Amino acid sequence: MGIRIYNTATRRKEEFEPRDEGSVSMYVCGPTVYNHIHIGNARTFLSFDVVRRYLEYRGFDVSFVQNITDVDDKIIKRANEEGRPATEVAAEYTTAFQDAMASLGVAPPTVAPKATETIPEMISMVRRLIEREYAYEVDGDVYFSVRSFSDYGKLSGRDIDEMNAGSRVDVDDRKRDPLDFALWKAAKPGEPHWTSPWGEGRPGWHLECSVMSEKELGVTFDIHGGASDLIFPHHENEIAQSEAATGEPFVRYWMHGGLLQVNKEKMSKSLGNFMLLKDVLKDYDASAVRLMMLQTHYRSPLDFSDDRLDEARTSYERIITPIREVRAATEQPALRRDVQAGAEDRNELLAAIESARERFISEMDDDFNTAGALGALFELARATNRFLGEFGVGEGESNVPLLRQAGNALEELLGVLGITVAERPRSAYPQTVVALARDLAGYEGEDVERAVDALLAARAAARTEKNWAAADAVRDGLGELGFSVEDTSSGARIIYDSRI
Ligand SMILES: [Zn+2]
């Protein structure tokens, strides 16, 4: 069986069949660039980054389009408050967005069209809609008439009359129906504007996604993604515009990500729990943030908290440790063990590699179940650790090819989720560890690595002599500097975290 995707439009999982064999056309609504992005937006973009990476891993050629909304009420408001041009605000936060995405390890889109660079195409779609009598002009504004499009409400399962009755929509006499939305807005003095058949103005927000997706991906493309709070009205309006203008279906698979809460509350400025991605990344590695978010299915609500981030940081260390250890085993004599693994043990690790890969694929095929896929990788990490602890590199390094195979599989599959193995630079150990080694292990050199080795040797000697107080003193001293010591069957192992 191939990939199955939960389609919001049909409310069920469907077998994924792209429009063109072997390639995928995909559009995800991008940011309005008036501020730094918060972690709720970051989660959505991360989810679709993983969808894209996985489709590529499965051999598809993916065209990934994400727009930049660089003209909008919010941008204009901020520019007015700060007394500078809207273009300057938009440029600043476009760069900030791209930087933030790069630091989270989100791959750049194939194309990232800007609203302000697609104005002629937008004017042309508005004209098409007026010609086909789906839109009307009033005093320089152009509105889409929701009642002219009989399928309006089909994505969100809403009915126009119920929506009108249930909401407190401002009655605007110029609109034929309160739900009619602006395709084109007449410019107010001091606002950015472009010349159009309806006078000086600027495009409405919903319009740009219809126009840019058609321009870059064509009519009826494969996957349209966004957070679930965009289903109505934004995506409903996109469908109305595109299907009315082309007479063809707009999108084959609608995917929506769940929302994010902070400490079980909705994130909002008034609650004081509003978190920006750039601030979170000051304290946590991107891979730990990714791991934490991917432990929840993309459609489920995600609870964000420092505790969960701390847990994810530990989980991250646990899952990548075998990769580092396999690399280190051939270099660091302290980790070497010359035990020949028997056929049964070797086969067991081989089977673990095989089954991790199979389970990873079947979980990801099932509507991108990243939590299940990570579970498979944790299992492989445990099996590799166990083997390494018991047999090390083996006699004549005979275990090395098998260990490498396990380490490479783990690294490759983590890479599909965008989780990378951070190299721990040797210089990352703090200089203070040298003084500790001098005090507790009689070390006389200046090298931080050797100082740690000396401390571990002193601790091992103290344990052999059953001098528990001395052994604990070493462990506690290291702990204060950010090292944790783990005892394995092949000896003590050190994990270092500079932020402790
Ligand atoms: Zn959109």
Tens-digit pLDDT profile for residues 455-479: 988 998 898 899 999 999 999 999 8
Pick the CATH number of 320-416 from 3.40.50, 1.10.3470, 1.10.730, 3.30.70: 1.10.730
This prediction's pTM: 0.85
Strand partners, 318: none
The pLDDT of residue 500: 45
Q: Where are the domains of the chain?
A: 4-283, 320-416, 426-496
Output the CA 280–ligand 1 centroid distance in Å: 26
Output the CA 212–ligand 1 centroid distance in Å: 9
Alpha-carbon distance of 336 to 333, in angstroms, equals 5
The pLDDT of residue 274: 85
Q: What percent of the chain shows pLDDT beyond 70? A: 94
Mean pLDDT for all residues in the chain: 92
**Contact assessment for residue 428 and residue 443, using Cβ atoms and an 8 Å cutoff:** no
In this predicted structure, the answer to whether residue 429 has a pLDDT above a threshold of 90 is: no
Mean pLDDT of all residues in 184-205: 95
In this predicted structure, the answer to whether residue 49 has a pLDDT above a threshold of 90 is: yes
Q: What angle do CA 64, 103, 78 make, to 5 degrees?
A: 85
Retrieve residue 48's tokens. Answer: 């679709």
Output the CA 167–ligand 1 centroid distance in Å: 23
Output the CA 435–ligand 1 centroid distance in Å: 58
Q: Which residues contact 132 (CB under 8 A, 6 or more apart)?
A: 244, 245
Output the CA 67–ligand 1 centroid distance in Å: 8
142-151, 270-279, 320-329, 431-440, range with the lowest pLDDT: 320-329
Q: What angle do CA 324, 330, 336 make, to 5 degrees?
A: 95
Q: Is 405 exposed, middle or buried (0-12, 13-18, 19+ CB in 10 A)?
A: middle
Output the CA 10–ligand 1 centroid distance in Å: 19
pLDDT in tens, 64-118: 999 999 999 999 999 999 999 999 999 999 999 999 999 999 999 999 999 999 9
Query: In terms of pLDDT, which residue wins out, 126 or 482?
Result: 126
Output the CA 44–ligand 1 centroid distance in Å: 13
Output the CA 48–ligand 1 centroid distance in Å: 14
Output the CA 26–ligand 1 centroid distance in Å: 12
Q: Which residues contact 9 (CB under 8 A, 6 or more apart)?
A: 154, 155, 251, 253, 254
**Contact assessment for residue 483 and residue 452, using Cβ atoms and an 8 Å cutoff:** yes
The pLDDT of residue 165: 74
Cβ atoms within 10 Å of 36's Cβ, excluding its own: 17
368-372, 436-440, 460-464, range with the lowest pLDDT: 460-464
Output the CA 195–ligand 1 centroid distance in Å: 24
210-214, 288-292, 346-350, 430-434, range with the lowest pLDDT: 430-434
Output the CA 11–ligand 1 centroid distance in Å: 20
Output the CA 108–ligand 1 centroid distance in Å: 17
The pLDDT of residue 18: 97
Output the CA 242–ligand 1 centroid distance in Å: 12
The pLDDT of residue 1: 73
Mean pLDDT of all residues in 162-181: 80
pLDDT in tens, 294-344: 999 999 999 999 999 999 988 998 899 889 888 877 666 555 666 788 899
Output the CA 47–ligand 1 centroid distance in Å: 16
Output the CA 187–ligand 1 centroid distance in Å: 22
CATH architecture of 4-283: 3-Layer(aba) Sandwich (3.40)
Q: Which residues contact 456 (CB under 8 A, 6 or more apart)?
A: 334, 474, 485, 491, 492, 494
Output the CA 234–ligand 1 centroid distance in Å: 6
Output the CA 49–ligand 1 centroid distance in Å: 16
Output the CA 297–ligand 1 centroid distance in Å: 22
Retrieve residue 345's tokens. Answer: 């043990």
Output the CA 131–ligand 1 centroid distance in Å: 24
Output the CA 288–ligand 1 centroid distance in Å: 29
